[in-house]
Amino acid sequence: MVKSYEERNRKHVNAFLEWARSLESAAAQEVNHWKSRFYPENRLFECYLRAGIPQKGMRGEDDLPPTICIARIEVVEEEQGRGFFTALMDALMRGADGFSYTRIECEEVVNPRLRAWLERNGFKPYQRPRIKTEKIVDPHLRALFEEVNGPSTTYYFDIERAGA
């Protein structure tokens, strides 16, 4: 039965990559070179994807490379743990053919298991600009800003494309 999961995952990954290529291509035609869409409904997972060149200043960096950003992904509960997410990320991290992205992002990761997986697989959290809290008198406001100074929940992975 494991082989059937591998085959199923490959089929879904290939369909997703074909759709994502068209999103990245459409982003290149946009004035701001950045496009976002929900992946069409399917039974295995839901995904909101951004593709293209992020605007200056996003993530605290002036110039970001062409990016595929998984803004939201959720594998249906009964299919979790069967390798789909790993298969998808492996394909993206290898630099799937027909794309121009050189960075993969996973945005606002709140699941601790997913954070650990990303870190084990070479993803890094963005650095947040530090807000000085020393002069904030209100303890509630100070705590809020100190929380903002914590680690980012958006992770990135830079890939090297052959011939780049």
Provide the H-helix boundaries in the chain.
2-29, 84-93, 112-120, 139-148
The CA-atom distances, in angstroms, between 115 and each of 5, 100, 118, 121 are 24, 25, 5, 10
Give the domain ranges of the chain.
Answer: 5-158
d(CA 104, CA 89): 9
What's the predicted TM-score (pTM) here? 0.82
Query: Could you tell me the maximum CA-CA distance found in the chain, to the nearest angstrom?
Result: 61
Q: Over the stretch 80-103, which tens digit does the pLDDT of each residue have? A: 999 999 999 999 999 888 999 999
d(CA 67, CA 59): 12
Q: Over the stretch 107-158, which tens digit does the pLDDT of each residue have? A: 989 899 999 999 999 999 987 766 666 777 788 777 766 666 667 889 999 9
- Residue tagged 């759709």 (tokens): 19
Whether residue 29 has pLDDT greater than 70: yes
Q: Is 112 exposed, middle or buried (0-12, 13-18, 19+ CB in 10 A)?
A: exposed
Domain 5-158, CATH among 3.40.50.1000, 3.40.630.30, 1.10.3720.10, 3.10.150.10: 3.40.630.30
